[in-house]
Amino acid sequence: MNIPKGLSAYGWTDVLDRDFKPFADQGLAPARVIVQQRNLYRLASESGEIEGRISGRFAHEAAEGGYPVTGDWVAVERKADAAVIAKVLPRSTAFTRMAAGTGKDMQVVAANVDMALLAASLNADLNLRRLERYLATAYESGAQPVFLLTKADACEDPTPLLAEVQAIASGVRVLAISVRTGQGLAELSALLAPAKTAVLLGSSGVGKSTLVNALAGAELMATRSIREGDARGRHTTTHRELICLPSGALILDTPGMRELALWDAEAGVAAAFAETTAEVDLLAQACRFRDCAHDKEPGCAVHAAVANGILDPERWRSFQKLQRELAHTVRKEDPLAAGAERQRWAAVHKSGRARMKAKPDVED
C-alpha cells in the first residue's frame, strides 16, 4: 500500500488508496477533514495541516448530504492561499440525522468513523428513549456503538441505571465513566485503536469535551458546568473536530444535539429493537387478524402482552413512535409512498366497517 506521508496516522487504508487512484491521475491530492466550521475547513494533508474551501463547481453540483464534513476524505487541488476541495471520497460510514428545525433536510454529522461513543450523564437527564434514538442512528451508520454513562462519581449507585441501559442495548458495551475519579477511562482507552476513528455523540452537558481532554491529557476543548436545577448542559463545543490522541487513536468531538430526528434509519431501528421485533413477530401469530397492525384491532395478542406486562410497554411505545416518525419522513419525501399509506388506511377502515356489519345484532 502506498500510504501518503502524514496521512497514515489519520487512517489511510488500502481501500482509500484504490478509491483515490482516479483523482491522483487528475493531479489531485488526498486530505482528511479535521475541522468543519460552516464552509471553512481545516485539512490534514501529506504536508501537514492546511486550510480548505470547496470549489464553486462542487458547491453547485453537490447532492443533499454531499458537502464535506469532519472525518471525510477528500481530493483537493492545491492553490497559493488554500486547498480547494474538488471531491469527497466514498464514505465507509456516515452518522446522519434530520437537520434540526427543518423537518425535511438530511444532515451528515460525522463520516468514516469506526466506533460511535454514545454519551449520557448519570444524572436526572438520563433518558432511555433518547438513547434508543442514538443507538438506532449508530447502527444505521455502520459504526460500532458503545454507551458511555458519564459522571459516575456523582451517582450514589449507578448499578440500576447501568442495568436499564443494558436492557435496551443487548450486546452493546456499556461503560460507567468518571473523569474525576478515573473510573472506566482505562477500559475506554483500550477500545480506541491507533488510526481508528471514534465519534462522541450526546446531549449538551454530558461531559464529552471533558472526556476528550482527559483522554488527550491536555485542555484541548473548552468545558462548562451544567445548569443547576434541571441537570441540563450548556453548549461548549460549537464545531466538529477530529483529534489525534497520544495513543494514536482518533476521536471526533461534536456539539451537543438538542434533538435527534431519525433520517432513513429503518435498518438501524430494526437492529436497535431486534429483541422487541422478535417478540412481536412471535406474539403476532396469535392475533385474531392476519393483517393486524397492533394498533386498536380487537384480539391483538401484542396489546394483550403489553397489558399483561409480558412486553415492556415503554419499549413498545418507543418502537412504534420511531416507526411512525420514519414512515412520516418517507411520505413527506415520496408522494407515491404517501398515496400508498392513504390506500392502506382506507382498506383498514373498510375492513373494520365490514366486520362491524357482520356482527350479529345484540338483543335487548
Report the CATH number at residue 124: 3.40.50.300
Q: Are 115 and 240 in a shared domain?
A: yes
Residue type, 194: P
String of b and e for 12-41 (b: at least 16 CB within 10 Å)? Answer: beeebeebbeebeeeebbbbbbbbbeeeeb
In a domain, 94, yes or no: no
All cell numbers assigned to 79: 492553490
Same domain, 159 and 248: yes
* Mean pLDDT within 275-287: 91
Average pLDDT over residues 219-223: 59
Cα-only R_g, the chain: 24
| Domain total of the chain | 3
- A 10 A CB-CB count for 72 gives 25
Local structure of residue 1 (DSSP, 8 states): -
At 5 the pLDDT is: 55
Model confidence at 51, in pLDDT bands (50, 70, 90)? very high
* CA neighbor of 260 nearest in space, from 117, 122, 138: 138
- Distance (Å, whole) CA 326 – CA 335: 15
Cβ neighbours of residue 9 under 8 Å, at least 6 residues apart?
194, 195, 244, 248
pLDDT at 194 over 80: yes
| Residue 362 within a domain | no
Asked if residue 33 lies in contact with residue 41, where contact means CB atoms within 8 angstroms, the answer is yes
Residue 260 lies in a domain: no
**pLDDT higher than threshold 70 for residue 352:** no
Residues 6 or more apart whose CB falls under 8 angstroms from that of 216 comprise 243, 245, 246
Q: Which domain holds residue 247?
A: 104-253
Tell me whether residue 265 is in a domain: no
Q: Which range has the worst mean pLDDT, 138-147, 168-177, 217-226, 333-342?
A: 333-342
pLDDT-based confidence at residue 24 (cuts at 50, 70, 90): very high
**pLDDT at 68 exceeding the cut of 70:** yes
**128 to 59, 222, 293: CA distances (angstroms):** 39, 27, 25
Domain boundary among 88, 118, 149: 88
Full-model pTM: 0.79
Q: Is residue 364 part of a domain?
A: no
Assigned domain for 247 exists? yes
- Tens of pLDDT, residues 112-171: 999 999 999 997 678 898 899 899 999 999 999 999 999 999 888 889 999 999 999 888
Our CA angle for 268, 65, 142, nearest 5°, is 30
- Region 94-120: what's the mean pLDDT? 84
Whether 114 and 83 map to the same domain: the answer is: no
Reported as type and span, the H/E element at residue 346 is helix 335-358
Cα(242)–Cα(79) distance, integer angstroms: 24
Residue 183's CB is within 10 A of a number of other CB atoms, namely 15
Q: Give dist(CA 131, CA 133) in Å, integer.
A: 5
